[in-house]
Chain A
Amino acid sequence: MNEALAFAFERVIPGLNAGLWASVGIIVPAALLGVAIGILAGTLRVYGGVWPRRITNWYVSLFRGTPLVVQLYFWYFALPYVSVAGVNLILSPVQAAIIGFALCSGAYQSEYIRGGLLSIKRGQLLAAQALGITPLHCILSIVLPQAFRRALPGCGNEIIYLIKYSSLASIITVNELTGVGRGIAKATFQNTEVYAIVGLYYLALVTLAGWILRLVENRLSIPGFEVKKS
């Protein structure tokens, strides 16, 4: 046991800590971008004109309908061969991971936002219109603040998922938590210890994210929009 502990502290932890920061560096921007894309796409899907609605619906079908691994392979391995107007876009592994996760996450987030938007009664839109509030102001100041509060539990859930599927970044050569763990496990043959510790790292990340999400929910909580205490 002592030997295992010593192994953990000397070999595994320092390596995994570096991987942890790489993971956080992907998760945080991807989650924020995903929420932003979700709000934009969700709003267009409900209030957009014919074409914005059509395009955002296609986007959601495409990104929910294909495996995330395939999407990541596309951004990292295939995109360099796609030439648009003579320009080939080559993404670094981290860039490809962030873009891949954000676009995939945004498709799911848009579904939660859409649900939140549809829960706002039409009467409030009529009242805003009757007051002379423009459609854009109405969406920004009246509808979205309410829809976002209603969508928040779902959006938080999607961020929790994102933390875990961020482990897929390792397959496009990002040295994040899972990738580093796999390297250590291969080099030392201590699969059990290494993967158990990697699992605990994710558990800690998810727990921390859960705290932050609850903090945000409490901050935004107003009478009539409370998150039900369980």
Chain B
Amino acid sequence: MQNESVVLRVEGVVKHLGGQRILDGVSLTVKKGRLKVLIGPSGAGKSTLLQCINFLLPPDEGKVFLDGREINGKSKKDLLWLRQRVGMIFQDFNLFDHLTAMENVRVALVKVKKMDKRAATHRAMEELARVGLADKAGLYPAQLSGGQKQRVSVARALAMDPEVMLLDEPTSALDPELIGEVLAVIRDLADAGMTMIMATHQIGFSSSLADEFLFMEKGRIIERGAPADLLARGSSSRTMAFCAKLSELSGELGG
């Protein structure tokens, strides 16, 4: 184990919601610059796991470590420290509807990082340019396409200089023709060495970038391994069976 390069560690996380055990003891470790991909059927606990990692949903049991520091979910200081270092991308983008693209990226720089407005504006414009939306800076979410909204949300997360990004099905709410532009941004991030955990059904895309697939079912990780191994021809893995079903449905072969 090269402990020094571990950025994020999750140990035995358990979460109940509405009386149901949604996460049943999940552990994982992410090293710097790696991409872990969570796959599995809906309701398997992928979103819940991601939200437990930055305590949007406080875990009932288990531990979360960032840079070797255990996060105390009851300490506001710890949570602020964690959330400034963990960026999150949501399926439904969750842009602030009353702010322009630029203001969406800028707001946390001003309110959380206490940057002055001019420097924050400058930084926000840089991040928008990075996702190819400098020319849309003045538009409101209602004037942007789904793909553009998701790219703004990526810029918003990147502006905080996160060490880790959590992506919760970033393309699932998008029309097929808009998925490509968001995947291209994610590929750029991976190439730039961003550490990421992504829940997705884009098996084909992520198998070329991920260093590990984690297959979740009923709140547990039941299979994990390099994409190539799990998806190898003739493999009897649960992952393979799931992916075969996905590609059967979408008519395109994953992997």
Interfacial residues, chain A to chain B (CB-CB below 8 A)? 121, 123-124, 126-134, 137, 141-142, 145-146, 149, 222-225
Contact = CB atoms under 8 A, between A and B. Distances in A.
A113 to B, nearest CB: 15
Interface stretch (B106-114, B125-133, B174-182, B202-210): B106-114
A131 B112 CA distance: 8
Q: Which of A132, A134, A225 has the most chain B CB atoms inside 10 A of its CB?
A: A132
A141 B111 contact: yes
A130 B62 CA distance: 20
A133 B112 contact: yes
A131 B141 CA distance: 18
A146 B111 contact: no
A38 to B, nearest CB: 19
Contacts of B86: 130
Given A129-B83, A132-B84, A223 B143 contact: yes
Question: Chain A: interface secondary structure?
Answer: helix
B153 to A, nearest CB: 8
Contacts of A224: 97-98, 140-143
A133 B140 contact: no
A131 B97 contact: no
Interface in B139-160: 139-143, 153, 156-157, 160
Given A127-B88, A224-B142, A132 B94 contact: no
A126 B160 CA distance: 16
Given A141-B111, A223-B143, A132 B83 contact: yes
21 contacts: A124-B95, A126-B51, A126-B56, A126-B90, A127-B94, A127-B96, A127-B153, A128-B96, A128-B108, A129-B83, A130-B87, A130-B88, A131-B160, A132-B80, A132-B84, A132-B108, A134-B111, A146-B98, A223-B140, A223-B142, A225-B97
B211 interface: no
Contact of A133 (B95, B108, B157): B108
